[in-house]
Amino acid sequence: MKTHAASILHLAPIRAMRSFTMKRLLVFLGFSLVGVLLSFADALQVEQGVVIVMFMLVGFVGSLVIEDRQSTRFPIIMHAVYEYTDSSSGEGVVQDVSINGCRVRSTKPAQVKAELRLQFYPAGQALPIEIQQAVVRWCGDGEFGVQFRRVEHAHEERLQQLVSELPKQACHWCEG
């Protein structure tokens, strides 16, 4: 039974369930309230219970879809090298990045709350952007999310420059 449950979670990973926020609660309660109000409307020919349950389900699914990020992540592909505090290391590909974190795809599994040092190599730049201290916030399906904790000033400026240019590049690619 344990294997079956794990295979279902693997097929349908819902990263939004990692944390429960006030935003998610408000979406769920809002849809639930609308369902209750509509169920008492005389214009509906549907059972009241069905309307309530339907809106509660829509609210629940909607609350799972909400992204809970401090800053927007932008899609990008960059080579990454990382080293954990226990000196084990790995390589991967950064698939999206923000000023506060990134998503890394790697064949080496990561563990939530593991601390690491990360370097990634933006296209056209000879030197990597170095993150002196980061922590793994989530992992699964061959990838993991990293929150940046400590970045030296020069690298932080380069990261800000990279992130500020990504939306412009995306718009340029859409026009072409």
Residue at token pair 């039974």: 1
Q: How many domains does the chain have?
A: 2
Burial of 45 (C-beta count, 10 Å sphere; 0-12/13-18/19+):
exposed
Q: Are residues 20 and 91 in the same domain?
A: no
Give percent above pLDDT 70 in the chain: 55
Domain boundary among the residues 65, 86, 116 is at 65
Q: Are residues 158 and 89 in the same domain?
A: yes
Range of the domain at 96: 74-175
131-160 burial, b for 16+ CB within 10 Å, e for fewer? beebebbbbeeebbbbbbeebeeebbebbe
pLDDT at 28 over 90: no
**Higher-confidence position of 82 and 164:** 82
Domain boundary among the residues 34, 65, 96 is at 65
What is the pLDDT, as a whole number, of residue 21?
58
Calpha distance 135→175 (Å, rounded): 37
Q: How confident is the model at residue 36 (pLDDT cuts 50, 70, 90)?
A: low
**Higher-confidence position of 39 and 32:** 32
Closest among 148, 75, 77 to 118, alpha carbons compared: 148
What is the pLDDT, as a whole number, of residue 9?
36
Rg (CA), the chain: 21
Q: Are residues 114 and 136 in the same domain?
A: yes
Say which CATH number the domain at 154 has. 2.40.10.220
Q: Are residues 159 and 78 in the same domain?
A: yes
pLDDT at 101 over 50: yes
Burial of 87 (C-beta count, 10 Å sphere; 0-12/13-18/19+):
exposed
Average pLDDT, the chain: 75
Q: Are residues 42 and 91 in the same domain?
A: no
| Mean pLDDT computed over 112-126 | 93
